[in-house]
Amino acid sequence: NAGVTQTPKFRVLKTGQSMTLLCAQDMNHEYMYWYRQDPGMGLRLIHYSVGEGTTAKGEVPDGYNVSRLKKQNFLLGLESAAPSQTSVYFCASSLGQFSETQYFGPGTRLLVL
């Protein structure tokens, strides 16, 4: 079991460029989440998904889009990157609505110049 994996590990973008972060889990979890973490702050929820084909907004969704076409994958897209999106992005998954535990990936470090 690889658990939760994230691709890429690190990326540098110029302002206005687009990119997609990939999260994959092999635990057959229903729920998946994208968080961002900025220096000195806790994690903030961007978007989440309660199942294949569904997505919902979290605390800080502006500037991001997501898709969950397959149960095991959750994609986070930045259509036009801004320096304010420089952050560490973490993906997580959990078994279902009544599952207490979220399993996190190793993170993607994104720098927008």
Binding residues for another protein (CB under 8 A): 4, 31, 33, 35, 40-45, 48-50, 56, 58-59, 90, 92, 94, 97, 99-107
Q: State which residue, 17 or 102, has the beta carbon closest to another protein.
A: 102
Residue 2's closest CA among 108, 107, 99, 105?
105
CA distance 77 to 2: 23
Residue 5 CB, nearest approach to another protein (Å): 11
Residues 6+ apart with CB under 8 A from 48: 31, 32, 33, 34, 55, 56, 58
Q: State which residue, 14 or 40, has the beta carbon closest to another protein.
A: 40
Residue 92 CB, nearest approach to another protein (Å): 7
Residue 6 CB, nearest approach to another protein (Å): 9
Residue 49 CB, nearest approach to another protein (Å): 8
Residues 6+ apart with CB under 8 A from 72: 24, 25, 26, 28
